[in-house]
Amino acid sequence: GQSLEQPSEVTAVEGAIVQINCTYQTSGFYGLSWYQQHDGGAPTFLSYNALDGLEETGRFSSFLSRSDSYGYLLLQELQMKDSASYFCAVKEDDKIIFGKGTRLHILP
């Protein structure tokens, strides 16, 4: 079986930096990805880490440590439009399994 753990909610201030952690337990592992979902919308792909280390894409970075079964999403220079739910997900065999999601609240 598989399980992914991430905080249910995180609150941060506009302009600040926030880190959303994810730990996972899977029988097979190919990589960790992150998705953003705004209320009423579909998930949009943010990043994918197959190897250990940090991947940077603009204001968003994602990190993976395979030995620790741990990863995180780092959001910098937070903007109000970043208020959304963020899901970590693992690829297991032929499918992607999503975590429960972290709701990010941003205060002005």
Partner 1 sequence: GAVVSQHPSWVICKSGTSVKIECRSLDFQATTMFWYRQFPKQSLMLMATSNEGSKATYEQGVEKDKFLINHASLTLSTLTVTSAHPEDSSFYICSARSGRGYEQYFGPGTRLTVT
**Contact set for partner 1, span 6-35 (CB under 8 A):** 30-31, 33
Say if residues 54 and 63 touch (Cβ distance below 8 Å).
yes
d(CA 41, CA 37): 6
Do the Cβ atoms of 72 and 22 come closer than 8 Å? yes
**Angle 32-88-13 (CA atoms, 0-180°, nearest 5)?**
125
Toward partner 1, which CB reaches closer, 10 or 97?
97
Q: Which region among 21-29, 53-61, 69-77, 96-104 touches partner 1 (by CB under 8 A)?
A: 96-104
Q: State which of positions 41-60 bind partner 1 (CB under 8 A).
A: 41-45, 48
Site of interaction with partner 1 (CB under 8 A): 30-31, 33, 41-45, 48, 87, 91, 94-101, 103
